[in-house]
Structure 1
Amino acid sequence: MADPTRLRDSTEILLPADAVDGLQDDLEQRFTLTIREEECRVRIIGSPVEIKGASDFLARNGISVA
């Protein structure tokens, strides 16, 4: 059985709420993602392939994704 934490790491990105300011529209246009704004963070959810692409895109734009 797959470890839920490992699956979650490959299907979502958690960032501070303001981390994607100015990039959210680009993320939604380039990738098939669900972006949920929560109290103090933003949760980006997608398939492992889309999350990898989004992570690379964010890194190219100076946002560190751990």
Structure 2
Amino acid sequence: HITVRDKVLIFSGRISSEILIKAAKIGVGVILSKSAPTTLAVTLANDLNITAVGFIRNGGFNIYSHPERIIDSEQ
């Protein structure tokens, strides 16, 4: 049995509301993707207490919900 409560889901596609609902059901708190989340996914991420991070490229990224879980190592 593997717990996912302290894990990150890395996703290559666009973060959709369906992906967020599945992640919430298994208890994932952070989803990373190289693409952007949909508008509905951002709303759901806020409601479901999930950190959604997109456009992960070349050391940069955009945080769309619950940024308190992401720590900037340069600060």
TM-score (norm 2): 0.29
Q: Which has the higher helix share?
A: 1
Q: Which has the higher strand share?
A: 2
Structure with more contact order per residue of length (Cα contacts < 8 Å, sep ≥ 6): 1
TM-score (norm 1): 0.31
